Amino acid sequence: MLHWPYPRWIAHRGAGTLAPENTLAAFRLGASLGWRAFECDVKLSADDVPFLLHDAALDRTTSGRGPAGDRPWHELSQLDAGSWHGRLHAGEPLPTLAAIAAFVLRNRHQLNIEIKPAPGTEQHTGQVVAGHAARLWADQAVPPLLSSFRPEALLGAREAAPRLPRALLLDTPWPDWDQVAASLGCVAIVCHHELIDDGLLARARGAGWRLLAYTVNEPVDAQRLLALGVDGLITDAVDRFSPGGD
């Protein structure tokens, strides 16, 4: 991508930790604070409905129990995904990718979709999520950025929607990661902020990739990364950083 259409600052899971993550309530709160770009986690229900949830299991952030991918959407849609965060958000449901797309498109926001497959469903999840994203963002000037730690998910995304931009997520370097990113046609690398230095930046630039950092919550880390010239900072600290500037 010669032109990078995404804002430099990206709100993690909607509004960081200020609202129940990966819910419409979080996106609304982030938007109310002036954020224009968001990151979220998307996985599949047992009947292939893309919805927002970070963990493989339902236990931490919903009233459900067990693996999320084992449940059909009609069951998942009845769960409470807000009470764990506080009484204010009691009854907040899990949103579908379609519901989040409607919100961000209506408000002209940008989205980074992290594909979070259940074990053994990596390529299929990438295919389904990318296919839905391609339809939901059809004819939009700025598509969502699809990212994943799992190369198989990005392979599936490329098969289903080759025109949507892809990014490889890295929490630690592993052998040949750059060759894998190149083979998948990635446009960006999204790294844990502690991995990023001049060498990694030069490596990314040499391959023609943009470089994004997660999860940048401390001003000293943000200042270092901005000085290096990273293209994006994903943060939980949506009430402390200004998304409108560097």
Coil, strand or helix at 68: helix
- Asked if residue 3 belongs to a domain, the reply is no
DSSP annotation string for 20-57: -TTSHHHHHHHHHTT--EEEEEEEE-TT--EEE-SSSB
69 three-state secondary structure? helix
Condensed to tens digits (0 to 9), the pLDDT of residues 65-88 reads 999 999 999 999 999 999 999 999
* 1 inside domain: no
Token pair belonging to 49? 């409905």
Cβ count near 197 (within 10 Å): 11
Q: Is residue 246 part of a domain?
A: no
pLDDT digits (tens, 9 = 90+) for 171-198: 998 999 999 999 999 999 999 999 999 9
Token output for 162: 């080759």
Region 203-218: mean pLDDT is 97
Q: In this structure, what CATH number is given to the domain that contains residue 23?
A: 3.20.20.190
- Establish if 135 belongs to a structural domain: yes
Residue 215 domain boundaries: 9-235
The answer to whether position 36 is within a domain reads yes
Helices first, then strands: H and E counts in the chain? 8, 9
- In a domain, residue 34? The reply is yes
Place 244 in a pLDDT band, splitting at 50, 70 and 90: confident
Q: Choose among 115, 194, 113: nearest CA to 151.
A: 115
- In a domain? residue 134: yes
Q: Which of 3, 54, 74, 89 is catalytic?
A: 54
Q: How far apart are the first and last CA of the chain?
A: 22
CA distance linking residue 209 with residue 1, whole number of Å:
8
12 in catalytic set: yes
Structurally, the chain folds into a number of domains equal to 1
Q: pTM surpassing 0.95?
A: yes
For 31-74, what is each residue's pLDDT tens digit?
Answer: 999 999 999 999 999 999 999 999 999 999 999 999 999 999 99
- The catalytic residue among 12, 85, 109, 193 is 12
Query: Which residues neighbour 128 within 8 Å (Cβ) at sequence distance 6 or greater?
Result: 44, 48, 50, 156, 160
Q: Has residue 68 been placed in a domain?
A: yes
